Structure 1
Amino acid sequence: MKKTADNCAILKSDSQYTIFIFKDQVIRFATSSKLERYTEVKEWDKGYLVVMAKYKNLNEMEEYIDLIPILQNLYYDVDEFLAPIKEVRIDYAA
C-alpha cells in the first residue's frame, strides 16, 4: 500500500465496492455495480464526503457518502477515527 500523509485518507472503488483507507484501516462497503470510478473529492466534512463519480453509460455526477453510520455499524469510535483526517483524496494506485 502506498504511503500517504498522516492526516490524509484515500478513497477509491473496486468492482462494486467503495474503499476508504486511513493509516492501516481499510473500510470496504458495497456500492452500485455501475460505478466506474470516483473522479474528484469536492468536500470532506468530518465523515461526510461530496464526490464526483462516473457511472457506466452516464455523465459524471455528484455523489454523497456519509461514513458515520458505516463506521458505527463496524463498532468504530467514530470521533477518534475521523478526528485526525484533514483531507481525502482519490488514489487508485494506493
Structure 2
Amino acid sequence: MNNCATIRNEGKYTIFAFRNHNIRFMTSVRLERYTKIVDWDYGYLVVMAKYKGLDEVEEYIDLIPILERLYYDADEFLKPIKQVRIDYAV
C-alpha cells in the first residue's frame, strides 16, 4: 500500500492528502507554491515555500493540532506515512 502523502496549495488553502483523505487548511493568500520538502517528522513538516514578492522561505507545518481539531486520531492517521511529496499534478 502507498505510504506517501502529498501536499499542495490551491488559493488560500493547503491540501494535505493521504490515501482517501484530503485535509484542507487555510494558508496565506500570498503563497504561490510549495517548492521543496525539507523534512517530514511524524506530523511535522518543514517545507520551502514561495510567496508573492518574497524569496523562497522555510515554513513549518504541524499537522497534529489540525488533525485533532478535525477529530482524527492523529497517531493512527500519521503512523503509515513514511514520505511526503509536493503534488501540483491534480
- Is the TM value for this pair above 0.5? yes
TM-score, length basis structure 1: 0.94
1:83 corresponds to which residue? Answer: 79
1:61 maps to which of 57, 73, 78: 57
Tell me, which stretches of 5 or more residues in structure 1 are unaligned? none
Tell me, which stretches of 5 or more residues in structure 2 are unaligned? none
1:16 maps to which of 1, 12, 25: 12
The alpha carbon displacement at 1:6 in A equals 0.8
Distance (whole Å) between structure 1 residues aligned to residue 64 and residue 76 of structure 2: 12
Distance (whole Å) between structure 2 residues aligned to residue 48 and residue 60 of structure 1: 19
Pairwise CA RMSD: 0.8
TM-score, length basis structure 2: 0.98
Aligned length: 90
The alpha carbon displacement at 1:50 in A equals 0.2
Runs of 4+ in 1 over 2 A off after TM superposition: none
Percentage of identical aligned residues = 66
